[in-house]
Structure 1
Amino acid sequence: MAYKELSGNIFNTKAMAVVNTVNCVGAMGKGIALDFKLRFPEMFKEYQKICFQHLLKPGQILPYKKSCPIILNFAIKDDWKDPSKVEWIEETLQKFVDNYKKLGITSIAFPWMGAMNGGIPLETIKFLTRKYLSTLEDIDIEVYDFDPDVPCSLFKTLEDMVQKNEYSTSELEDLSGIKARYWVKIQDAVNDPKTKSINNLCHYIVKGKRIIGKTNIERLFVFLTRYKDGNITAGKSLF
């Protein structure tokens, strides 16, 4: 068992559980939480339902066990507009230490919680994370410093699909709901050597504008997840 600090993409982890940092008002619109929302839409719906019932409070952990990996939503904000608080981060870390054995978790991946959109200095977060987690001896722990250039399996799936030229843009429109003209832009971006990850693609700019907006990003994630799992077939659109 080991504690490791890594640079990379947390969604490449092989750990049985992953930590997502959330607020208590049902919004996952920025940072790592948005990535979780796009990759695990059913988790987001369940989290949002709990929030709308005012059942999630700062300092609590909301587990989601229906996915692989298991997702532990650490509530380190109240409203998304407000910063995180050190005491809420400490509360969630202590709750994790007290309960990971009961949950049967033997490996887990963390981000540096609250260091990006949470507004807390990274060195403070590192101190707290090491304080609570680095001495645990019966669990594998990875803590990720996010690298936007590291690809995940979904980007590799997209890259492979573009290189194979398996579908026409009109077929891709039927399968994904993304207009053919946007697929042309997506394909051009994927073929650009500077595009190394989904993050790069989502921020790819042509003539001062991002090539893909929020709705199409959501559709792309759904499509790539289905494609990766072998759940799409060309020419079988519903009428």
Structure 2
Amino acid sequence: MITYVKYGDIFKISGVTSYAHGCNCQGAMGKGIALQFKERYPNMYLEYKKRCKEGKFILGDVFEYNQENVNIFNLATQKSWRTSADIAAIEKSFETMLHLATEQEINKIALPKIGAGLGGLNWVNVKTIIELVASNYPKINLVIVENFKE
């Protein structure tokens, strides 16, 4: 099931301890939601940056990071921060994330509108892909915040 929240902050959604966001494959988290993840989870950022440098985080990949009771899915959706998100990479990484979440019995994940903010894609197109992939995982509740607001 997908719940769309018009305005909000993924980190302030009640009952959520798992998060996802789109990342580039160059090791940069300097703007938008990625910057918030970098600031909240500096050790995650260092591991992400290392993977990028070593070529171990490419389009369509998922880098899962766990810290205490928080689970973060970093989705490789852009080659670099200078390029637009890649719709095929969003689909592949989203499928992998939901598969991993199912294996771990994670039933709720909060995320922004992946690929359609700084990623530059049309949200309607991305939303269609997300809904299609998510339909195969009915036990996972996704909470998608469409616009950031504290």
Q: Calculate the TM-score normalised by the size of structure 1.
A: 0.58
| Structure 1 partner of 2:5 | 6
Unaligned runs of 5+ in 2: none
* Greater C-alpha Rg: 1
- Return the offset for 1:67: 4.4
Could you tell me how far apart the structure 2 residues matched to 1:67 and 1:57 are? 26
Instruction: Name the CA distance, whole Å, in 1 between partners of 2:124 and 2:57.
Output: 27
SS in 2 for 1:65: strand
Tell me: CA distance 1:41–1:90, structure 2 relative to 1, closer, same or farther (3 Å). same
* Structure 1 portions without partners, runs of 5+: 151-239
The answer to whether the 8 Å contact 2:17/2:70 transfers is: yes
Asked whether the 8 Å contact 1:18–1:108 carries over to 2, the reply is: yes
Deviations 1:59-92 (A, max 9, x none): 0100001244211000001111111111111111
1:146 Cα offset (Å): 2.0
- Matches of 1:61 and 1:48, distance apart in 2: 13
Question: CA 1:114–1:67 in structure 2 vs 1: closer, same or farther (change >3 Å)?
Answer: farther
Deviates more, 1:132-141 or 1:13-22: 132-141
Find the aligned partners of 1:98 and 1:69 in 2 and give their Cα distance: 18
**Contact conserved, 2:113 with 2:123, CA < 8 A, in 1?**
yes
Which residue of 1 is the match for residue 120 of structure 2?
119
User: Which residue of structure 1 aligns with residue 30 of structure 2?
Assistant: 29
Identity of aligned residues (%): 28
**Shift of residue 16, structure 1, vs aligned partner:** 2.5
In structure 2, the residue matched to 1:43 is 44
Higher normalized strand content (fraction of residues): 2
- Distance (whole Å) between structure 1 residues aligned to residue 50 and residue 90 of structure 2: 23
C-alpha distance in 2 between matches for 1:77 and 1:44? 16
Superposed CA RMSD:
1.6
Larger RCO: Structure 1 or Structure 2 (Cα < 8 Å, ≥ 6 residues apart)? 2
> Contact between 1:28 and 1:34, CA under 8 Å: does it hold in 2?
yes
Pick closer, same or farther for the CA change 1:139–1:55 going to 2, 3 Å: same
SS of 1:76's partner is strand
Indicate if the aligned counterparts of 2:73 and 2:97 stay in contact, CA closer than 8 A. no
Runs of 4+ in 1 over 6 A off after TM superposition: none
State the secondary structure of the residue aligned to 1:71: strand
Aligned amino acid, residue 40 of structure 1: Y
How far 1:21 sits from its partner (Å)? 1.3
- Return the TM-score normalized by structure 2: 0.90
